[in-house]
Amino acid sequence: MCDVVKSNFDSLYPQIEKSLKSAAFIAIDSEFSGLISNSKFKRSLFDSGKENYLKMKHGIEQFIIFQFGLSVYHFNRERNEYAADIYNFYIFPHSFGSVDHKFLCQSSSWEFLCRYNFDFNMVAYKGISYLNNQQEKIIRKEFQENSCILNDAENLQAKKIIQEECSKILEWCLTAKINDSTYVDLNGIDFRLEYFLHKEIRRRFKQVWTYSEVLKIRIVMLSEEEVSKLETTHGRKLEETLLRNLLGFSKIFKLLVDLKKPIIGHNCFLDFMIAYNQFYAPLPTSYDVFKKNIHFLFPHVFDTKFMSYEVRRILMKEDKKVTVWPGNSLVELYEYFRDSKPLVSHIPKIIINDGIKEPAVEKRVHHACWDAYMTGFCFIYLAHFKAVENLGRNAISRPLSRTEHLAGVALYENCVNLMRCNIPFINFSGKDPPSNRPKSLHVRRKDLKAVDIYEITELLSSFGSVDVKSDGQGGALVAAARNSVYFDILWFYKGNEEFRIVPYFPLAHSRVIKSVLWSGIAISSGLVLTYLLSILRTSS
Amino acid sequence: MCDVVKSNFDSLYPQIEKSLKSAAFIAIDSEFSGLISNSKFKRSLFDSGKENYLKMKHGIEQFIIFQFGLSVYHFNRERNEYAADIYNFYIFPHSFGSVDHKFLCQSSSWEFLCRYNFDFNMVAYKGISYLNNQQEKIIRKEFQENSCILNDAENLQAKKIIQEECSKILEWCLTAKINDSTYVDLNGIDFRLEYFLHKEIRRRFKQVWTYSEVLKIRIVMLSEEEVSKLETTHGRKLEETLLRNLLGFSKIFKLLVDLKKPIIGHNCFLDFMIAYNQFYAPLPTSYDVFKKNIHFLFPHVFDTKFMSYEVRRILMKEDKKVTVWPGNSLVELYEYFRDSKPLVSHIPKIIINDGIKEPAVEKRVHHACWDAYMTGFCFIYLAHFKAVENLGRNAISRPLSRTEHLAGVALYENCVNLMRCNIPFINFSGKDPPSNRPKSLHVRRKDLKAVDIYEITELLSSFGSVDVKSDGQGGALVAAARNSVYFDILWFYKGNEEFRIVPYFPLAHSRVIKSVLWSGIAISSGLVLTYLLSILRTSS
């Protein structure tokens, strides 16, 4: 496990790049600054995929990823072994020029991170920079216009350092001869201040040129002619270096995009949305455009939460008494696979490359890199089981290749779990599935008074996850997350004295439709049908 | 100096309260999560006090105070000595029920805090809670409706702890007799979880009562009758305790309001706005209502930045060659008073109460408590000078009383410095002063092409602080911060070939007005006058 921060990012980058390039698949996870910016963006079981996306878009646009975990899995066929390189990136949006990020935080999310010993100082002091495409464009424009100035009024410290260094150089200049050199010590100096030091020295002293060296700037006295030649040939290098530093983690994001490797997450819709917004471009207002773009960027996505539901269903179907994992949370799934006997034989061995001992789950859960590791771990178990299952559980008894593992779960590719939505998952690569949620229930009071939505929610929540909204006519509509909840409610309220709860049929429950049906006004039947259909469409 | 965090807040509160009650005056300072949420809320030299307030209101509403410093000064007349109690509060908005604060952060503000070694983990892990009036109301309502449930889906850890403790109690119940007791250890348990533990134990076990003790809950077996009696008499105590904990720092704010002591800040308009919003109530949409309310809450406010400008002016007027402080920043002012000879005799001695040695300025600057201490320090020097000055510098040669010090600066009471505004300060207790900024300048190109606002800003900024906006007719209006900048620009551009820069006169420079004046259309003169006046009003 390796913490990647701004001070070691450049030196680790080649190693990370190499690891990613040779990966069988890459598991990811992220820790966010917040989850829901406003209760009006709370998702509901009534929401379509599109409504869910738009609510989330508005709800999360200002949140950022504080920590990004990569667990890069490599397969060794001979040893039937997956080995993981694990990287934990701390991320912080650095300000520069007119780009000064504002990011939203949520109390409960910080409290959540605190419960798992998250280090906020690592984010603030050591976080790697990033820019999305839009921010990169702004900074490139400011470079072209030469309008990047150290304009932060509060940044007196930086101005003082520049002034002091320039004074020293001025003194040195008085006696220096051509090819003499001196140094500015960069210890404790940030890459942005380094840039401004170079710029200011070159601006003030027309007979010197500055060179970047490890932790210092070398200043060499040259003829004005040579300086002017260097200005033409190397003048823009400073900006390139600075931009590379500002892009920081966005380079990793771009690399993931370029490599088109399978990306594995657990319940990772939010991870993809926030990462897209933060490292790539502002989220599109169109759901379809988002789906198209995310699929273009990451054509092979797997969600172990979705897979966990699906594989569990297969197992339960085959044998109702089988002991499967107790729930579909990452920890439950991981602990099940780690501690139980494998479902099928020849499961690959899984190791961590740098030979460190895995810390206890309690110590590492909700640290992005460990969650990514556990996600990849579960993916291997689920994919191996499904691959064996597809090939015929008894027909085959040998280790499988990584291609066979991926082929085994091809059916689940690009299906990402959705929480609180009327469809169970989003399909990044095509049409979303039809809703598998139970139909809505309709509630009204037997005394015909208007129902209290709050009361109904409280009453029915005891049966399981439900969402309640007004039917606009004094009654309420109820969406239940599962069939069991739906039938429990129906059964329990059969013959109830206070409430009448029945399956919802728009035709039967809409007063408007009723009045049309019984009005007896002569309208051609075609018109009535069109009208009814339009009502049905908006009320479904 | 004392760090006040959630774990020692309750035990320190009586001491802080006592210190505040006997204070001569109280100096404050705060460190924020951000400063400007959006560049469209950037303040300008064109802004009136009201415009400035409204921009700031929209710009800062979501920012919060991470650290609040109090330096509580007590006067000892006999020793002619001010002694300061210094408290450094770390503040974090705790979530509870449906109150889940969202707060905005700004990259450059975090970077600023990092430069001064700010500890973000202290905020997240040890920050004291707070609620403004609105949030307090919501929670009180939820208490009444009994709708506070542990509904955070992620909070599995808490649910597990409750489950485990209840299992233990269930086992104990099997053999316990009336008046037997057992304990729940509260080590490492947060006050909110403590509340839910009490609630859940009382809900599940009708024959026990729970008592809060130091770091534990005592559970006593009683008759159901006794339990029911306790429920009636003490049932609501849990909510009171919880609310007290949630209110946290708001209690200090309320205490400051109740005590009506003189409050001293340095450039403290933003401190007052954010504190009002965070600890009291959402900022009013009306400037006048804000002024009225803030004056009602804090009737005696002094701003050492404003005082510094004023006293400096007096000194410079008397003797043009006098050496005064080099600038009006807090550090410049403090270092000047600490190191120079006092301006007048009998200046009180200033000490820190707990006998600690002051750290070097570099180590403490921008730590809220130290900035508050320095602010109070400067206030004493400025007030003493002004008091002696008022009484006649040569007529009096004795130490002064704290009443005399305050009386000496009565003229500056409730005048709070404004940055980038067309008035120099806001008067919390009455009408704002007239603008003392130079009149606007008018710029147009001699070739009559439209000016480039960006180019004009860049050109004129070299003379000093200016703001530039379009005149809507191809020219630009320029507001200069100081007369010297105004005259320098006029002088420099006299006879310039490219630009014509002259003092702005709405009558002369508005094409609309010109066209009215020269149109020759017969309108009654009264109407023309009304029309002109309305144009002048909107364009001034």
* Residues 6 or more apart in contact with residue A515 via CB below 8 angstroms: none
Least confident of A481-490, B19-28, B265-274, B401-410: A481-490
- Cβ atoms B105, A102 nearer than 8 A: yes
pLDDT of residue A123: 97
Over residues A457-471, the mean pLDDT reads 86
A124: which chain B residues are within 8 Å (Cβ-Cβ)?
110, 113-114, 118, 120
pLDDT of residue B243: 93
Where helices occur in B205-349 by DSSP H, the ranges are 224-234, 237-247, 249-259, 269-275, 287-297, 304-318, 330-339
Whole-model pTM: value is: 0.87
Identify which of A232, A272, A279, A233 has the alpha carbon closest to the alpha carbon of residue A254: A279
Kindly report, residue by residue over B175-193, the tens digit of the pLDDT: 999 999 999 999 888 888 8
- Cβ atoms B469, B477 nearer than 8 A: yes
Say how far apart CA A167 and CA A359 lie, in whole Å. Answer: 53
pLDDT of residue B519: 55
> % helix / strand / coil in chain A, to the nearest 5?
50, 20, 35
How many other CB atoms are found less than 10 A from the CB of residue A356? 10
Identify which of B7, B119, B243, B105 has the alpha carbon closest to the alpha carbon of residue A107: B105
- Cβ atoms B107, A100 nearer than 8 A: yes
Say how far apart CA B87 and CA B483 lie, in whole Å. Answer: 41
What Cα–Cα distance (Å) separates residue A87 from each residue in A9, A84, A127, A266, A367?
A: 11, 10, 14, 17, 11
Best of B6, B61, B107, B465 to mutate (most A CBs within 10 Å, chain A): B107
Q: Using CB atoms, which residue from B34, B102, B112 is nearest to A106?
A: B102
Q: Using CB atoms, which residue from B104, B107, B125 is nearest to A93?
A: B107
- Cβ atoms B183, B165 nearer than 8 A: no
Consecutive H or E run containing B425:
strand B425-427
Kindly report, residue by residue over A355-370, the tens digit of the pLDDT: 666 666 666 778 899 9
Identify which of A35, A30, A31 has the alpha carbon closest to the alpha carbon of residue A58: A35
Question: For strand B499-503 and strand B441-445, is the pairing parallel, antiparallel, or unpaired?
Answer: antiparallel
Question: For residue B392, what pLDDT band results from cuts at 50, 70 and 90?
Answer: confident
Whole-complex ipTM:
0.87
A157: which chain B residues are within 8 Å (Cβ-Cβ)?
115
Tell me how many degrees the CA angle A87-A88-A89 measures, rounded to the nearest 5.
Answer: 115
- Cβ atoms A506, A475 nearer than 8 A: no
Identify which of B116, B128, B133, B115 has the alpha carbon closest to the alpha carbon of residue B68: B128
| Cβ pairs A/B, distance under 8 A | 91
What Cα–Cα distance (Å) separates residue B501 from each residue in B449, B451, B473, B477, B511?
A: 14, 12, 15, 10, 17
Say how far apart CA B334 and CA B326 lie, in whole Å. Answer: 11
Identify which of A262, A58, A419 has the alpha carbon closest to the alpha carbon of residue B102: A58
- Cβ atoms B328, B308 nearer than 8 A: yes
In chain A, the residue whose alpha carbon lies closest to the alpha carbon of B96 is A108
pLDDT of residue B362: 64
- Cβ atoms A56, A48 nearer than 8 A: no
Say how far apart CA A378 and CA A374 lie, in whole Å. Answer: 6
pLDDT of residue A522: 47
Q: Please tell me the distance in Å from B109's CA to the nearest CA on chain A.
A: 9
- Cβ atoms A35, A270 nearer than 8 A: yes
How does DSSP assign B11-23, residue by residue? HHHHHHHHHHHT-
Consecutive H or E run containing A115:
helix A107-115
Kindly report, residue by residue over B304-360, the tens digit of the pLDDT: 999 999 999 888 888 777 778 888 899 999 999 988 876 778 899 999 987 666 666
Over residues A332-358, the mean pLDDT reads 83
Kindly report, residue by residue over A139-188, the tens digit of the pLDDT: 999 888 877 766 554 466 788 888 899 999 999 999 999 999 999 999 88
Identify which of B48, B57, B6, B84 has the alpha carbon closest to the alpha carbon of residue B272: B57
B125: which chain A residues are within 8 Å (Cβ-Cβ)?
114
In chain B, the residue whose alpha carbon lies closest to the alpha carbon of A92 is B107
Residue A35 has pLDDT above 70, yes or no: yes
Say how far apart CA B22 and CA B76 lie, in whole Å. Answer: 11
Per the listing, tokens 């010993």 go with: A117
Over residues A472-489, the mean pLDDT reads 89
What Cα–Cα distance (Å) separates residue A371 from each residue in A112, A203, A340, A367?
A: 15, 49, 19, 6
* Interface residue ranges in chain B relative to chain A, Cβ cutoff 8 Å: 33-34, 37-39, 62, 92-95, 98, 100-108, 110-115, 118-121, 123-125, 147, 152, 154-155, 157, 458
Q: Report which residue type is found at B84.
A: A
* Interface residue ranges in chain A relative to chain B, Cβ cutoff 8 Å: 33-34, 37-39, 62, 92-95, 98, 100-108, 110-115, 118-121, 123-125, 147, 152, 154-155, 157, 458
* Residues 6 or more apart in contact with residue A76 via CB below 8 angstroms: A82, A83
Q: Please tell me the distance in Å from B348's CA to the nearest CA on chain A.
A: 32
Question: For strand B65-76 and strand B25-32, is the pairing parallel, antiparallel, or unpaired?
Answer: antiparallel
Over residues B462-479, the mean pLDDT reads 87
* Burial class (CB within 10 angstroms; exposed 0-12, middle 13-18, buried 19+) of B363: exposed
Q: Using CB atoms, which residue from A92, A102, A120 is nearest to B34?
A: A102
Question: For residue B526, what pLDDT band results from cuts at 50, 70 and 90?
Answer: low
Beta bridge partners of B58: none
- Phi (first) and psi of residue A54, to 5 degrees: -65, -40
Q: Using CB atoms, which residue from A108, A115, A124 is nearest to B110?
A: A124
- Cβ atoms A103, A64 nearer than 8 A: yes
In chain A, the residue whose alpha carbon lies closest to the alpha carbon of B129 is A107
B155: which chain A residues are within 8 Å (Cβ-Cβ)?
112
Q: Using CB atoms, which residue from A111, A121, A157 is nearest to B121?
A: A121
CB contact under 8 Å between A124 and B107, yes or no, is: no
pLDDT of residue B153: 46
What Cα–Cα distance (Å) separates residue A247 from each residue in A90, B105, B112?
A: 14, 20, 21
A104-141 CB burial, b ≥16 within 10 A, e <16: bbbbbbbbbbbbbebbbbbbbbbbbbbbbeebbeebee
Say how far apart CA A265 and CA A261 lie, in whole Å. Answer: 13
Q: Please tell me the distance in Å from B56's CA to the nearest CA on chain A.
A: 16
B292-308 CB burial, b ≥16 within 10 A, e <16: ebbbebbbbbbbbbbbb
* Residues 6 or more apart in contact with residue B240 via CB below 8 angstroms: none
Q: Which residue has the higher pLDDT, B62 or A458?
A: B62
CB contact under 8 Å between B104 and A62, yes or no, is: yes
Q: Please tell me the distance in Å from B353's CA to the nearest CA on chain A.
A: 31
Per the listing, tokens 């020269």 go with: B518
* Token digits of residue A329: 């949370």
Mean pLDDT, chain B, whole residue set: 88
Least confident of A121-130, A303-312, A496-505, B264-273: A496-505
Question: For residue A539, what pLDDT band results from cuts at 50, 70 and 90?
Answer: very low
Least confident of A19-33, A356-370, B410-424: A356-370
What Cα–Cα distance (Å) separates residue B474 from each residue in A278, B46, B381, B443, B505?
A: 39, 18, 51, 9, 16
Q: Please tell me the distance in Å from A77's CA to the nearest CA on chain B.
A: 38
* Token digits of residue B114: 């990092």
Say how far apart CA B275 and CA B295 lie, in whole Å. Answer: 14
- Phi (first) and psi of residue A253, to 5 degrees: -60, -45
Kindly report, residue by residue over A69-113, the tens digit of the pLDDT: 999 999 999 999 999 999 999 999 999 888 999 999 999 999 999
In chain B, the residue whose alpha carbon lies closest to the alpha carbon of A329 is B154
Kindly report, residue by residue over A299-330, the tens digit of the pLDDT: 999 999 999 999 998 888 887 777 788 888 99
Say how far apart CA B120 and CA A120 lie, in whole Å. Answer: 6
* Burial class (CB within 10 angstroms; exposed 0-12, middle 13-18, buried 19+) of A527: exposed
Q: Which residue has the higher pLDDT, A339 or A526?
A: A339
Over residues B123-133, the mean pLDDT reads 96
Best of B42, B108, B332 to mutate (most A CBs within 10 Å, chain A): B108
In chain B, the residue whose alpha carbon lies closest to the alpha carbon of A64 is B105
* Token digits of residue B350: 């200033």
pLDDT of residue B522: 47
pLDDT of residue A390: 87
Say how far apart CA B68 and CA B312 lie, in whole Å. Answer: 29
Over residues B56-85, the mean pLDDT reads 95
